Structure 1
Amino acid sequence: MKTNPIKLFSRIFYFGLMLLLAVSSCKKEGDGQLRPDEEEPPDEEVLSGTISEDKTLYNRFSDPNQLDYRVPSSVTIAAELTIMPGVRIEMGPAAKMTVTSQGRLRVMGTPDSNIVITGKQHNPGYWDYIMIHSFDSVNEIKYTVIEDGGGNPNVEGTLILNSTSMVNMHNTKIQKSERNGMVVINPDSRLVNFQNNEIRESGYAPLVINSSQVSSIAESNVFSNQNVYNYIKVVGSNVLTPQTWGKSDVPFYLMDATSIYADLIISPGARYIFGPAGRILVKETGSLNAIGTDVDSIYFSGAQSISGYWDCILFLSNNPFNEFKYVSINHGGGYWYWNASIYLQDAFFKISYSTIANSQRWGIYRNGVYQFIDGGFNNFFSNGTGAIGP
């Protein structure tokens, strides 16, 4: 019996059409998500040169461990770059990402879909840095993991705020930097909503900031995990606005001179260690109020337990807000001119329930027209010249 060719072709066509419809029905329409039966892009996209028009980076693959984008050398962002949840970016050797003063960076991960910026090889310092130059409230980094950077010896960090810049950063992890985790170079730069971040496994310190940015560091951040130097490094600068310095899970390392021109409050439990010649200068228009508690004292001490390792806290202000309570001060008095751990020059100062010890010279020295109130319950010991002078 012969088969009619027309009927055979019709049956084959009908069967093929039904199969195509069945496959198509397996795809869920409208959610924009990649399905296992959809064709994926053949390769990750390369980012290089200058991005001069607004651009959005999407999660291009269903596999969360597959690269979406690659930066083999360097990319400059001179427009708005938005990175969507789940994106994975691989940085090549010595690669850099630079946001110019006209650029904006939005790294918008979510709790369930972090963004990952990682090295092609998982070695500290494999790539260089992300550097932000723009002072724009749009700059934001959230729910992001940044790792394996910090390879450039000139800027010494994985995430850098340079020029006068700004970033809103929260719920982000910086890890395995060869040098510092994050560096804020300019004292006029701003850290906004800087909370719930973790900077860990840094070859140097987790964070380098200026005195003017200490108040931006929320207690919810974590800096104490496996950094070579478990402290926040603070470069001396001017404090020009009223603010509060909170406590952290690591001490703040005050490298040199911090000058206070406004009202500054130190929170209970805060810890400050001073480098050689470190000092705090409370200027005529400023005040310093450090009120701890009997279970949560405030500490000022030397980075090394050596008498006279740091200079002093100098009060030039007659503001009645100048008060220490439940404060411990150790290893100061290293400067011959301001010859005490606390030096009063025409100043008001009240102290109670506090300890001053191991000063190379006086514990407290008073000069000029001053008002000094000893509130009692203070403890002075091992101060080279004496407790209170003259």
Structure 2
Amino acid sequence: MKSASRRNLTRCALSLPFILAATVSARAEEDPCPPLIPPVDMQKIMTDPDLTDMERLKLLQNSGRDIREPATWSGCHTVLDKTDIYAPITIEPGTTLKFKENAGLDIHSGGSLNASGTADKPVTFTADDEMPGYWYGLYFDSNSSKNRLVHSTITYAGGNQKGSGSPMKRATGDSNPATRAVMVHEGASLRLENTHISHAKGYGIEVLGALQDFKNNKIDHTDVPARLIPDTVGTIDENSTFTDNEKNRIDLVALGTLKQDASWVDPGIPYIWNHITTIAANLELQPGVEIRMGTESRMSISETGSLKAIGTAEKPIVIHGVSSVPGSWEGIYIKSNSDKNVWKYVRVADGGDGGSFKTSVYVGGYLDISDSWIENSRNIGLLVNKSSGIDATIKKSGIQYKDNKIDYQEKD
């Protein structure tokens, strides 16, 4: 009889976090901002004479950090620790979640987080203490289409994320920030609309997976607003803003190849291109876009890709080095015969180092370039390689060369 009672007690204790997570709104009458999942009485677990060592261990392992049943959250609640979500969670408009130090939410496979507020009633994720990096952040490791941050505000996140169970996935030798307020892992996805991320330590958002949308968002007062894989940049719309950050830039992650057709808008800050990346789809750069190329970086347009870059006299497209030293990056290599390779009012500067041809712009395919500038190349400014095995063709007019070792060269 005693053994049966003990088993019943254990089952109740193990299910308690799930019941509490699904009914947290009912507790708001007792506490204006009660714990999302109340802490477990560790002393009671350790001293209860009716528990076996195995039952005690299971209770400690299930101490309220996992949510495995669907739930709807509303009102105001405090998140005490890093909480792992394995089920669909809906957050109602006007809800506030306050996070204790290093607390946060990890959304795993099988789980989702749908925080869809309204303009009048946003969903708020904030810290118990208003200090940048005070709490851990929101980590998405789920590819659910229900993962949404809409009309939400996220403040003071980006805290200690080491040992959190969410891999950092940093490039070797990467000196960029190692924390972020919102993280979308490889294979995961998120829709971000009308959301404000501010006062974060590290990146405002880092995306190694997919962005379903990125519209009307605002990121400010972070170390760096965003770090994105190239295939997600095309989701950024003209109404999103990135201001008042310590370093106003969008870092691009090199994951090999840009595979999706895209149009990149001018976000008002530069994109930082730090690696050798192949463009295997149709990429269009809008007027005013600035791309700053890191050391040994290269933009390579493959046979299946194209680069359309048409600026204006008032808003030229600029592709130049992070450093203004000649040869601080490799160059742009065009191996595509697409008639979409059209450049107008484009300035290319500071390239011409490394690679096979040591040129800022290499044409081994097709390029129509006019009213543009090629400057500060360590070696050749513009090279047309007619012996490339592809019928290299160039249409050029109104090109201005400046401070190149060699302005223009054709190789038969």
TM-score computed with the length of structure 2 as normaliser: 0.79
Residue number in structure 1 paired with 2:215: 195
Distance in 2 between the 1:96 and 1:212 partners? 27
CA displacement at 1:286 relative to structure 2:
1.3
Distance in 2 between the 1:190 and 1:175 partners? 22
Q: Report matched runs for 1:115-264 at 5 Å.
A: 115-152=123-160, 154=162, 155=168, 156-185=179-208, 189-203=209-223, 205-223=224-242, 225-237=243-255, 238-264=257-283
- Greater helix share, 1 or 2? 2
Q: Report matched runs for 1:1-390 at 5 Å.
A: 40-47=29-36, 48-59=64-75, 68-152=76-160, 154=162, 155=168, 156-185=179-208, 189-203=209-223, 205-223=224-242, 225-237=243-255, 238-335=257-354, 337-345=356-364, 347-367=365-385, 368-369=387-388, 370-390=391-411
Distance in 1 between the 2:31 and 2:301 partners? 62
CA displacement at 1:231 relative to structure 2:
0.6
The worse-fitting range, judged by mean Cα deviation, of 265-274 and 95-104 is 265-274
Tell me if the contact between 2:384 and 2:394 (Cα under 8 Å) persists in the aligned partners. Answer: no
State the Cα deviation string for residues 25-47 of structure 1 (Å, max 9, x = none): xxxxxxxxx9xxxx933353323
Alignment gaps of 5+ in structure 1: 1-33, 60-67
Distance in 2 between the 1:259 and 1:115 partners? 39
CA displacement at 1:335 relative to structure 2:
1.4
What is the alpha-carbon root mean square deviation over aligned residues? 1.8
The worse-fitting range, judged by mean Cα deviation, of 207-216 and 314-323 is 314-323
CA displacement at 1:153 relative to structure 2:
5.5
* Number of equivalences: 339
Distance in 2 between the 1:333 and 1:111 partners? 49
- Letter of the structure 2 residue corresponding to residue 381 of structure 1: K
State the Cα deviation string for residues 174-205 of structure 1 (Å, max 9, x = none): 111111111112xxx221221111111112x1
CA displacement at 1:245 relative to structure 2:
1.9
Q: Looking at CA atoms only, which structure, 1 or 2, has the larger radius of gyration?
A: 1
Report the CA distance shift for 1:221/1:126 in structure 2 as closer, same or farther (over 3 A): same
TM-score computed with the length of structure 1 as normaliser: 0.83
**Percent identity (aligned):** 28
- Letter of the structure 2 residue corresponding to residue 119 of structure 1: A
Alignment gaps of 5+ in structure 2: 1-24, 37-63, 163-167, 169-178
CA displacement at 1:336 relative to structure 2:
5.1
CA displacement at 1:247 relative to structure 2:
1.7
State the Cα deviation string for residues 275-312 of structure 1 (Å, max 9, x = none): 11121111111111111222221110111211111111
Distance in 1 between the 2:150 and 2:86 partners? 21
The worse-fitting range, judged by mean Cα deviation, of 74-83 and 331-340 is 331-340
